Amino acid sequence: MNIRVFTDSILVRKAVLTFSGWPDAGKLVQFALDRLKGMTSHQPAAHWDLDGFWHTEAVRPQISAQHGQIQRMEWPAYQFLLVNEDFSHGPVLYGEGPEPSLSWRSFARQLIELLKGWGCEQIILLGSMLDQVFHDEIIISCVVQDSSSYNVALQEGCQLIAYDGPSAVHAAVMAEAKQAKMGCMSFWAHLPFYLNGPHELIAARLLGILGHLLGRDLAAEDLVNAWKEREQQIEQIIGQDQGLRQTLESLKQQKVMKKTAPAGKVVRFEDFLKKRNHTDPERE
C-alpha cells in the first residue's frame, strides 16, 4: 500500500468516506463534504496513491503546465483528513477521492485494514443518485448491515428500499467491513433527474444526519434559506416549460399509482452477501 501519513498518530472511532464519479451524481456529496469541511477544523492525515486501482477510461491524472512545460502532475489518490474537534465520540476522519475503477475487493480490503489500524469502529459512506423524484421531496435512503444501523436509519427517517442494479464501491467496502465486524452504513441522497446543480435542502438534511451520528450540531440554516430562493426559480422554469411540466405531471401520476402497490422489501445487507456467493457483481 503506497500511503503517506502526515501526522504522528491517527486514532479515530468514526470515518466519513466519499467517492467522486458514479457514486456522486450531481456532485451533491462533494457539495455537502465541502460544507462539512468548512464547518470544522481539519488537517491532512494521509495520502493514498491509488496506483493499481484506476484506469484512464474512468479517471485521468491532472497536470499543470506553464510556458510549455509540465510543472506538476497529480496522480489519482485518496485523501484522509483528521478532525480534532469536540465530537461526542472523539476525533473523526474524512476520506475523499475517486471511485476505484479496478480491483474493488482488494481496494476495500486494504481500506478496512487501514481504518482498523487507526482504531476506526464505524464507517459512514455518502453517495448521491439521480432519481425520479421531485425537487420538493427530501429522500435519503440507507443500506445497512446490522440491526443497530437499521434502527439508526429508521430514527433518521431514511428509506430502506429494494434495489437491483449496478453497484458502487460502497457495496465492496460494506462487504469487507462486515467480515471485519466493523459497523458501516451507506447513505444515498436522491436528486431530481431534471435539476442541474446542488440541492441545498437535501445537503442540509444530509448534514443533519451526520451531525446526529457524529454527536455535533451541523445545522445549515443558510443552505435552507438558499434553497427557498432557488425553489422559486425552479417553479418559474417549470411553469414556462410545457414539456417539462407534462413530464413531471406524468411522473406524479405514476407515483400515485405505485402507492397502491405492495410495499417494497427492505434492503438487508445479508442479501448482498448471499448473492456474492453465487455471482460476482464487483469489478475486478
Q: What is the pLDDT of residue 112?
A: 97
Mean pLDDT of 113-134: 94
Give the full edge-to-edge strand order of the sheet including 140-143. 3-5, 43-49, 77-83, 92-96, 14-18, 122-131, 183-192, 140-143
- pLDDT, position 171: 95
Q: What pLDDT does residue 265 have?
A: 39
Range of the domain at 11: 3-61+72-220+264-276
| Average pLDDT, integer, range 124-145 | 92
User: Considering the chain, what percentage of its residues have pLDDT values greater than 70?
Assistant: 89
pLDDT greater at residue 161 or residue 35: 35
pLDDT confidence band for 257 (50 / 70 / 90)? low
Q: What is the pLDDT of residue 273?
A: 47
**Inside any domain, residue 199:** yes
Which residue matches cell numbers 432557488? 230
* Three-state secondary-structure class, residue 89: coil
Confidence label for 198 from pLDDT (cuts 50, 70 and 90): confident
CATH of the domain at 208: 3.40.50.10900
DSSP letter at 60 equals -
Q: Which pLDDT score, from 0 to 100, does residue 263 have?
A: 42
Does 256 have pLDDT greater than 80? Answer: no
**Model confidence over 222-234: pLDDT tens digits?**
999 999 988 888 8
Q: Residues with Cβ < 8 Å from 282, sequence gap 6 or more?
A: 104, 105, 167, 171, 172, 276
Question: Given this model, what pLDDT does residue 45 score?
Answer: 95
User: Quick one: pLDDT at residue 186?
Assistant: 96
pLDDT beyond 80 at 98: yes
Residue 254 belongs to some domain of the structure: no
Angle at 88 between CA 86 and CA 94, to 5 degrees: 70
Higher-pLDDT residue of 99 and 62 is 99
Is 272 a residue whose pLDDT tops 70? Answer: no
Q: Is residue 145 part of a domain?
A: yes
| pLDDT confidence of residue 9 | 85
Residue 230's pLDDT is: 87
Residue 14 Ramachandran class (φ > 0 left, ψ -120 to 50 alpha, else beta): beta
The pLDDT value given to residue 254: 76
In a domain, residue 216? The reply is: yes
Are the CB atoms for 199 and 26 separated by under 8 Å? Answer: yes
Q: What is the mean pLDDT of the chain?
A: 86
Report angle CA 154, 155, 157 to the nearest 5 degrees. Answer: 65
Q: What is the pLDDT of residue 267?
A: 41
At 259, is the pLDDT very low, low, confident or very high (cuts 50, 70, 90)?
A: low
Structural domains counted in the chain:
1
- Asked whether residue 280 carries a pLDDT value surpassing 80, the answer given is no
